[in-house]
Structure 1
Amino acid sequence: MSFIEIRNIKKTFNGIEVLKNLNINVEEGTILGILGKSGSGKSVLINMLRGMKDYRPDEGQIIYNIALCPQCLNVEPPSKQGEICKCGSRFEGHEVDFWNSDRQVFAAIRRRISIMLQRTFALYEDDTVIDNVLKSIQGHDEEESTYMAIDLLDLAQMTHRITHIARDLSGGEKQRVVLARQLAKEPMIFLADEPTGTLDPTTAEFIHQALIEGVKAQGLSMVITSHWPEVMRDLSDEVIWLENGEIIQKGNPEAVVESFMEHVPRPQVSEEFKTGGPIIEVQDVKKHYYSIERGVVKAVDGVSLSVNEGEIYGVVGLSGAGKTTLSRLLYGLTDPSSGHINVKLGDQWIDMTQKGPLGRGRVKPYLGILHQEYSLYPHRDVLGNLTESISLELPAEFARIKALYVLNAVGFDENYAEKILHKYHDELSGGERHRVAIAQVLIKEPKIIILDEPTGTMDPITRVQVTDSIKKAREELNQTFLIISHDMDFVMDVCDQASIMRGGKILRTGLPSEVIEDLTPKEKNKMLSNGKTA
C-alpha cells in the first residue's frame, strides 16, 4: 500500500533548482534509500518530508496516505484503516496533501515522524541519558516507560552510559542517544539524513545495526540518505540515485550502488614530494583530567611524534583513541598536563605550551584548524565566510577570485562555485558546508593545517576531490598537514606517514600501508569500510 507519494516536486533556492520534478512512491513497511553526492538534493527532500520550515515545495505535492481518527486526530499508517483508536473511534482512510492540509492534521502527521539529521545532537544537555529517552516516551506508565527506555538504550548500545549527563558524552555517543530518543517516539515513519556520515566506523556500525533492529526488523517505513553503500545495501528495499535534483537511476540497491560507484574516480597519482626537516616536535605529552562519572581519564597518555615540513601526516584510530584531544593540544586550544610541544617558525622553535604573544601567540597566525564540530557564520554568505568573517580583508574582486579558486580546490566546479558565493549556510547541504569550512581554513594559506575528520560528511567523489586538493595545496604552497581521521583508505591515499592511536597512546608510526598491519582485525575491517568499498 502506498504510504508516501511524491508527485512532481520542484524546489528552488535563490534561483537554483535543487529538486526537479521528482516522482517517488514509498510503500508502507519499506525502506527507501537515497544515494547521491553532496548537493544532490537529498537533505532538501528529507526536510520536505518532515514538514520543516522553509522547505515547502514550489510545485507538486507530498501525499501521505494515512489512517486518521476523526475524534482525537491520532494518525497511524494506512493499514490501520478501520481499526479502533484508543479513544474509541474508528480510524478512517485519508489521502492528505501534506503541505496544503489543515494545520491540525499537518501537526498530527509531523508528530508521528521521527528524524535524525547529520551533525545534530538534539539532547537535554543537563539531563542523564535515560532521562533524555524517557522525555520522548508518551502514553505509557512510569514502569513501562523505564523498561522501554532501557531496551532502546540497549539497542543503541548505550546502557554503559545510562546515568551519565548528556553533555559529557562524545559526539558518537550523543548520536546513539538521539537514535534511542527518536525510536522512543514510536514513529510511523523514520527519516534519517546521513545518520552515520560524521561518525567513526565503530559508532557508525552501532547506529547501522540499531537501524536494522529498531526500524527494519520492526517493519517501520523509512527514508534514509547516505553515501555509505553498505547502508544502502543492508537497509534499503529500493534505492534512488539523485544527481542535481534529478533521479538518475532507481531500483535494486545492489544495481544502483554499483552504477554510482562506477562514477567514483581514483585520486590522482602525484610525484613523490621532498619534505624538509622537522616542523612539529611532540615529546611525551599527556592530557589527564578528572570526571566525576569516570574518574581519571587519560585522553592523551605519553604521546611523542615528529612532523616534517611539507609532510602530510595522519593520526588514525577509532572513537575515543585521543585523536581530537591531541589536535587541540597541538593547536594550543588545550594545555597538556605534562610534556613538550614545539613548532618551528623560521629558524626558531616556539614552545606551544607557553601562552602570550612571545609563546604560541607568535605561531597562531601560521596555523589553521578544521574542527570536527566546525561551524560557519550563519549571517554571512559563502563569500563572507571566506573573507570578512575570518578577518581576511581583500579588495572585492580579488576576494571573489580567491574564494572561487579555493572552492574549486575543495571540489566545487567553477560554475557551481560561482552560484553558491552568495548562499547562506542553511541553503547548503551538509557536505557542501563541510567543504566550505575546509576552504575557510585553506584560503588563509596557513603554514601548518590540522584537519580533524575532514571527510566525515563527504560522498566518495568529494573525498577524492579533497584528497587531490590537499596534495595540490602542499605542492603549490609547501603546506604541512596533520590529518586526524578514522578513514584508513583516505589516509592511505593522501598521507606520507601515519601513526595509530589507541587508548591515548601511539602504538606505531610508519608508512600508512605499514601502520594498517598493526590494526586489529576488527579495527582493520571498520577503518577500511569508508574507502574503496564505500
Structure 2
Amino acid sequence: MPGREQGRATPSPDTGAVLAVRDLKIGFRQEGQVTPAVKGVSFHIDKGETVALVGESGSGKSVTALSTVQLLGDAARVEGSVKYLNREMVGAPEKVLRDIRGNDISFIFQEPMTSLNPLHTLEKQLGESLALHQGLTGDKARARIVELLTRVGIRDPETRLADYPHQLSGGQRQRVMIAMALANGPDLLIADEPTTALDVTIQAQILELLAELKAAEGLSMLFISHDLNIVRRIADRVCVMKDGQIVEQGPVEQIFANPQHEYTRMLLAAEPSGLADPVPADAETMVATKDLKVWFPIKRGLMRRVVGHVKAVNGATLSVRAGETLGIVGESGSGKTTLALAIMRLIQSDGPILFLGQDIAGWTSKKLRHLRRDMQIVFQDPFGSLSPRMTVEQIIAEGLGVHGIDKGQDRRKLVAEIMAEVGLKPETMHRYPHEFSGGQRQRIAIARAMILRPKVVVLDEPTSALDMTVQVQIVDLLRRLQQKYGLAFLFISHDLRVVRAMSHKIMVMRAGEVIEQGTTAEIFDSPKDLYTRALLNAAFAGAE
C-alpha cells in the first residue's frame, strides 16, 4: 500500500488485535472535581474487522474514540490501557503519539466543514499530511493526491485540486475527508458519525465506499453511530454503550436478532412507527401554491448582466389542510428549504401563495406582519437557532412581545404552560440553551413556535441531529400537537422513516423540480419515478 512505513509492529499472535482497550476510565476535571465520562470500557478490534460503538449522545462513544491517540486535552484524566499493535497509548510520549496520529490511526468526523480548512485548497490540505508523514512534495505529492481523490470517487480530480471546501457538496467533502484519512495508509480508521449529516443516497454511497476501501486496503475500523440501521449494514461486531459503559457486545447478527440488555432492545425498538392521524374531510386548506418558482439570476461580466438563472424551485404546486402534513423529500440542493422559505414569504418568488384563501405573494412586509404569528418555523439545529445569551423563558416568550399578544396576561404563566405541553419542566425556564440536551433544545424551539398558536408550521429537518430514541419522542410530540390544534405541517427531511410516520402526503423534489407527489401510501408502496425508488432503496437497504 502506498505510504506504508517499513518495520511497523504486528498484531499480537495471542489476540490478533490491532486495537485493544482494557478497563478504560476517563474523567474530566472541572472546578476541582472529576466528572466520569467512561467507566471501565473494554473491547478489541482485530485486523480487517469493523467494530461499531453505538449509543445515545453522552454515552461516551466519541470520548472513547479520541482516547485511542490521546486527543482529549489537559482536562481529561485517563486510566486503563489502550494498546495499538501492542504499543501502549495511555501515557505514551507526545512524539510517539504524533507519529501515529493521522498515519497509523486516522479519523473521519461527522461534519467535514469543521475539519477542513476553509482557506486552503484541497491540494494544500491533502499535501500537508503527505509532506509531514511521508516527505512527499511537488509532482510526487500531486500525483498521490490525484490517486487518493480518484480512489474515493471524486470525478476529474485534476480539475478539483484548486477547489476550496465550500465549492464541494456535502458528500464530496466527506469523500475528501476519507481521502485525507487514507493518505498515509493507516491500519485503523475511526469513523465518528461519518454519514449523519448526509442525504440517504449519499449515505449509501459513503457506506459502500468505506466497505470497498476496508476490503481493498485491509483496514480495521472503529465505526461510531447512533443509527442502528447503518451499523447493521457495515459492522462485524457491535458494542452498545450507555452512561460510559459497554452494556452489551457481540457479533452484529447476534445483537440484532437476540439482544440481551434492556437498553439494546430499547435502541432497536426506537424507530418512528405508525401513520399520521386521518385529516377530517371538511378540513380547511391552510396554504396552497400553484406553479411557484424561485429563480436566482446568474450575473456575469463588467456590467453584471443576467446570463441565466439557477432554478432553485421550478413550478411547485401544493396544498396543505388543517391537521395535515406534507412531507417534502429530496437530496440537498433539491429546493426543499427554498420552497418552504418562499411559502413563508422570506424570499422572493413568482406565482400565487394562498394563505387561508388570500394570495399573499404580493403583500408588503408591513402587511404580512400580522400573519407572521400564524406561520412559524422550527429549524434543524436548535442550538444554532436559540440565542445563547437568553434564558429559555426569554426565548419562548420573545414572540409574544413582538406580536403584542401577551398584553394583560401573565407571560411567565403562558411560558410555563407551553413548556409543560412540550414535555419540559417549567421550573427550568431560567436556564440557558447550553444547559439542555439536544432533544430538550428542540422542544424549546417547538415551544417558541407553538406559544403563538400558529396555523402553519414549517419543520426543517427537526429530527436529523437527534438520537433515535429522541426522534421517536419528537415525532410523537408533533403528532399530538397537530391533532390538538389542527396544525398544517410542511415537514422537510431526508429521513424517510420519519417522513413516513409523520406525513399524509409526500412531495419528492430533485434539482428544483417536483418529480412526484401523492399520498404516503402511494409514494412508499408504488413509487413511479426512478429517483423516488432510488431514495427508498437507499433509505431501507439492509432493513429486515
* Fold shared, TM-score > 0.5 on shorter chain: yes
Partner of 2:145: 149
| 2:56 aligned to which of 33, 37, 42 | 37
Alpha-carbon offset, residue 58 of structure 1: 4.6
Partner of 2:273: 267
**What amino acid maps onto 2:445 in structure 1?**
Q
The CA distance in 1 between the partners of 2:383 and 2:72, in whole Å, is 21
The CA distance in 1 between the partners of 2:508 and 2:385, in whole Å, is 34
Alpha-carbon offset, residue 105 of structure 1: 3.7
The 1:519–1:146 alpha-carbon spacing in structure 2 relative to 1, beyond 3 Å, is farther
On the 8 A contact 2:383/2:441 being kept in 1, the answer is no
In structure 2, the residue corresponding to 1:241 is in which secondary structure?
strand
How many residue pairs match? The answer is 489
In structure 2, the residue corresponding to 1:358 is in which secondary structure?
helix
The 1:502–1:379 alpha-carbon spacing in structure 2 relative to 1, beyond 3 Å, is closer
| Matching of residue 436 in structure 1 with residue 427 in structure 2 | no
Partner of 2:93: 102
On the 8 A contact 1:32/1:222 being kept in 2, the answer is yes
- Cα deviation per residue 1:330-382 (whole Å; 9 max; x = unaligned)? 3344322x3233434xxx736256452223x433343332344664379839x
- Cα deviation per residue 1:483-512 (whole Å; 9 max; x = unaligned)? 112333322211111112223121333211
In structure 1, the residue corresponding to 2:144 is in which secondary structure?
helix
The CA distance in 2 between the partners of 1:185 and 1:292, in whole Å, is 43
Alpha-carbon offset, residue 277 of structure 1: 1.6
| 1:357 aligned to which of 334, 359, 366 | 366
The 1:226–1:272 alpha-carbon spacing in structure 2 relative to 1, beyond 3 Å, is same
Alpha-carbon offset, residue 239 of structure 1: 1.1
| 2:491 aligned to which of 483, 486, 502 | 483
Alpha-carbon offset, residue 47 of structure 1: 3.8
Partner of 2:505: 497
The CA distance in 1 between the partners of 2:428 and 2:398, in whole Å, is 23
The CA distance in 2 between the partners of 1:40 and 1:189, in whole Å, is 22
Please, which moves more after superposition, 287-296 or 432-441?
A: 287-296
What is the RMSD of the two structures over their aligned residues, measured on CA atoms? 3.9
In structure 1, the residue corresponding to 2:365 is in which secondary structure?
coil
The 1:199–1:365 alpha-carbon spacing in structure 2 relative to 1, beyond 3 Å, is same
Report 1:30-179 matches (<5 A): 30-49=49-68, 51-53=70-72, 57-58=76-77, 60-65=79-84, 78=85, 94-97=87-90, 100-112=91-103, 113-121=105-113, 122-125=115-118, 128-138=121-131, 139-159=135-155, 162-163=159-160, 164-179=163-178
On the 8 A contact 1:318/1:523 being kept in 2, the answer is no
Partner of 1:335: 348
Please, which moves more after superposition, 262-271 or 200-209?
A: 262-271
- Cα deviation per residue 1:8-59 (whole Å; 9 max; x = unaligned)? 4244798975433322233454322112234433233334445444696556
The CA distance in 2 between the partners of 1:388 and 1:459, in whole Å, is 24
In structure 1, the residue corresponding to 2:240 is in which secondary structure?
strand
Alpha-carbon offset, residue 218 of structure 1: 1.4
| 1:302 aligned to which of 285, 305, 315 | 315
**Structure 1 unmatched ranges of 5 or more:** 66-77, 79-92, 409-413
**What amino acid maps onto 2:106 in structure 1?**
S
The 1:59–1:322 alpha-carbon spacing in structure 2 relative to 1, beyond 3 Å, is same
TM-score (structure 1 length as normaliser): 0.77
In structure 2, the residue corresponding to 1:302 is in which secondary structure?
strand
The CA distance in 2 between the partners of 1:335 and 1:143, in whole Å, is 48
**What amino acid maps onto 2:465 in structure 1?**
T
The 1:385–1:21 alpha-carbon spacing in structure 2 relative to 1, beyond 3 Å, is farther
| Matching of residue 287 in structure 1 with residue 287 in structure 2 | no
TM-score (structure 2 length as normaliser): 0.76
**What amino acid maps onto 1:533 in structure 2?**
A
- Cα deviation per residue 1:247-290 (whole Å; 9 max; x = unaligned)? 22211012223334653366356753427322222222222335
In structure 2, the residue corresponding to 1:37 is in which secondary structure?
coil
The CA distance in 1 between the partners of 2:308 and 2:392, in whole Å, is 40
**What amino acid maps onto 1:159 in structure 2?**
R
The 1:423–1:371 alpha-carbon spacing in structure 2 relative to 1, beyond 3 Å, is closer
The 1:102–1:128 alpha-carbon spacing in structure 2 relative to 1, beyond 3 Å, is closer
Alpha-carbon offset, residue 291 of structure 1: 5.9
The CA distance in 2 between the partners of 1:376 and 1:455, in whole Å, is 14
Partner of 2:481: 473
In structure 1, the residue corresponding to 2:118 is in which secondary structure?
coil
The CA distance in 2 between the partners of 1:256 and 1:433, in whole Å, is 27
Alpha-carbon offset, residue 208 of structure 1: 0.9
**What amino acid maps onto 2:204 in structure 1?**
E
The 1:331–1:266 alpha-carbon spacing in structure 2 relative to 1, beyond 3 Å, is closer
**What amino acid maps onto 1:444 in structure 2?**
A
Alpha-carbon offset, residue 203 of structure 1: 0.8
**What amino acid maps onto 2:270 in structure 1?**
V
The 1:350–1:223 alpha-carbon spacing in structure 2 relative to 1, beyond 3 Å, is same
In structure 2, the residue corresponding to 1:376 is in which secondary structure?
helix
Partner of 1:317: 330
Percentage of matched positions with identical amino acids: 23
| Matching of residue 23 in structure 1 with residue 42 in structure 2 | yes
In structure 2, the residue corresponding to 1:339 is in which secondary structure?
coil
- Cα deviation per residue 1:100-119 (whole Å; 9 max; x = unaligned)? 44344444444444323323
| 1:507 aligned to which of 500, 515, 525 | 515
